[in-house]
Amino acid sequence: MGRKSLPSRSAVQNRVFSGQAEAVGEKSGGHSRKKIDLTGQRYGKLTVLAPAENVGSRTAWLCRCDCGQETVVRTNRLRSGHTASCGCLAAGRAEGLPGLTYVDGTCVEMLAAKTVRRNNTSGVPGVDWLAAKQRWRAMICFKGKRHYLGSYARFEDAVKARKRAEEALHDEFLREFGKGTEKDG
């Protein structure tokens, strides 16, 4: 009994892209073979204009950025959010955003605001629970470096360590740049 040979991958892709797929959502190599039309959709600053020539074996799209530049982006990069502009957003981050002051990679206004991130679970920036160790960890980031402040059995001790580090690093930095904290008033 002879084995039935399977069609080559390119033959299957040609059938899928021409609308002759056997079933919707069939998978080959872990990726859907059904081409999704993204024309007209927006992803970050990019608007999808038309299909482009594939990048390797991946489907790609011609996109126009809000800044006017056109670029070719793979489907998975658009849909995952990894590519949201032609590169102008990354260039803007390197230069800093307008109205914000960056010194040694640190945003002065962000430090002065002392905001708590949305995904923070302890309510205190830089303090989190290490379930595996059953301890609270205190950390602080400053000028692009993360400083480990210790792990503590009590939440209050971790908060104290974080506050001391904020006073020593952040508050001193803010005083130097004339953006003093509220208590400096």
> What digits encode the pLDDT tens for the residues 129-150?
999 999 999 999 888 888 999 9
Q: Which residues pair with 136 in a beta bridge?
A: 129, 152
pLDDT computed for residue 129 by the predictor: 93
What distances in angstroms separate CA 63 from CA 20, 74, 86, 99, one per listed residue? 27, 10, 8, 29
Structure tokens at 118: 């949305």
Average model confidence (pLDDT) for the chain?
A: 77
Whether the pLDDT of residue 97 is over 60: the answer is no
Highest mean pLDDT among 7-16, 19-28, 153-162: 153-162
Whether the pLDDT of residue 22 is over 60: the answer is no
Whether the pLDDT of residue 31 is over 60: the answer is no
What distances in angstroms separate CA 39 from CA 50, 62, 93, 150, one per listed residue? 6, 9, 28, 51
pLDDT computed for residue 117 by the predictor: 79
pLDDT computed for residue 26 by the predictor: 44
Output 36 or 128, whichever has higher pLDDT.
128
Residues 6 or more apart whose Cβ sits within 8 Å of residue 19: none
Backbone angles phi and psi of 117, in degrees to 5: -65, 150
In the chain, count of helices (H) and strands (E)? Answer: 6, 11
pLDDT computed for residue 152 by the predictor: 97
pLDDT computed for residue 35 by the predictor: 76
Domain range list for the chain: 35-95, 98-180
pLDDT computed for residue 163 by the predictor: 94
Backbone angles phi and psi of 9, in degrees to 5: -60, -40
